[in-house]
Amino acid sequence: MDRQAKVVAERQKLLDNGIISRAELSSFQMELDSRERVLELAQNRAKLLEELRAMAETEQRLVRAARPAGDVLIRYDGDGMFSLADLPTISTEFEKRFHRALPVSALGQTLVHQSMGLDHRNRVDVALNPDSSEGVWLRQLLEKLHVPYLAFRSAVAGAATAPHIHIGTGSTRLKLAAR
């Protein structure tokens, strides 16, 4: 984008001096606009990955701390079982109730979890505040189904992690061979 911005600035001078036409400049300008959009997409993607990374790190840290984290982490063990095959039941119920899709932020093992050596297979993160009406409803549904979950509230000490509900058991470290 920087390179193209220079090209456009140079062409602008040529236009000002009457050497090229406005139409000739506009094709360079269009190329610059398109590069700007690509850059913006890449920046959004990087931000999203950074959020995912922070979430995974917080999950790991809070779950590893053996003593209950009290007001920041709600832990429900249920029957200790959840697999991605159980997700449609939950998302369908959510859609029926709230007329929108379940806001899943991490579905199973992601590249972020993989790169951090964390096992997030058969685990799903949902971008809902556990204390919002939707979050409370989802937790009640999970408890009715005996599905284990970890609910992270917003005020996590030392981490600006978005509140979310992690469905499934806590992430464990991946075996070296699986990395």
Positions touching Zn ion (CB under 5 A) are 125, 166
Q: Are the beta carbons of 109 and 120 closer than 8 angstroms?
A: yes
Nearer to Zn ion, 25 or 108 (CB): 108
User: Which residues in the chain belong to E strands, given as ranges?
Assistant: 73-76, 104-107, 118-119, 124-126, 149-152, 164-167, 172-173
Residues paired with residue 104 on neighbouring β-strands, in sequence order: 126
Question: Minimal distance in Å, beta carbon 177 to Zn ion?
Answer: 22
Nearer to Zn ion, 119 or 125 (CB): 125
Question: Minimal distance in Å, beta carbon 126 to Zn ion?
Answer: 9
Question: Minimal distance in Å, beta carbon 59 to Zn ion?
Answer: 5
Nearer to Zn ion, 11 or 166 (CB): 166
Nearer to Zn ion, 139 or 166 (CB): 166
Question: Minimal distance in Å, beta carbon 10 to Zn ion?
Answer: 50
d(CA 28, CA 32): 6
Mode of pairing for the β-strands spanning 149-152 and 172-173:
unpaired
Cα torsion angle, 7, 10, 12, 14, sign: negative
Position with the least CB separation from Zn ion? 166
